[in-house]
Amino acid sequence: MLMQKTDDSPTFNRDWNDFKVGFGNISGDYWLGNDQIHQLTKDDGYKVRVDIQAEVSTGQSAWYWAEYSTFIVGDESTNYQLLLDGYSGDAGDPLEYLNGTQFSTYDVDNDSGPDHCAVDYQGGFWHAAGCVWCGLTSAANYFYSDGLENNLQTAQMWLECK
């Protein structure tokens, strides 16, 4: 598992080094570590799956999934740049805006917009201009699916062999 978010606590409002080495507990909020994610994905041998539980407009809880056949994270010299492609799933391509982005934390701003997304949304992640489309690690707790904003409850990212 690459990451897991179990609730809306500010667990992911961490500095660059914490995300570099990883933190948390695999049975709770968890981040594997950007150095390890790079080592695992640098040769394009894995695809990534994202499972999201969200509260939808009816107030009910629903599960969504997204899979990307290309998921490569660069090393620290690229600010852990994300290469992402080949979406399938029913989550409405929640990470589509993140291809080519660099990782940001509250102490290292690498997002492509004028805002400091990791500070504004209290979570390190890959952020594009406009900040959070899918708040997997942010306090924003939402993701867009089919043009609707849904309240994210839990999320997990997994690597799967190709």
Provide the pLDDT for residue 69.
98
pLDDT category, 127, cuts 50, 70, 90? confident
pLDDT category, 89, cuts 50, 70, 90? very high
Nearest to 126 by CA among 107, 90, 157, 102: 102
Residue 33: CATH number of its domain: 3.90.215.10
Structural domain span for residue 74:
3-161
Task: Tell me the C-alpha distance between 48 and 113, whole Å.
Answer: 26
Q: What is the pLDDT of residues 20-59, one digit of tens each?
A: 999 999 999 999 999 999 999 999 999 999 999 988 777 7
Q: Which residues of 56-87 are buried (b: 16+ CB within 10 A; e: fewer)?
A: eeeeeeeebebbbebbbbbeeeebbbbbbeeb
Number of domains in the chain: 1
Higher pLDDT, 30 or 128: 30
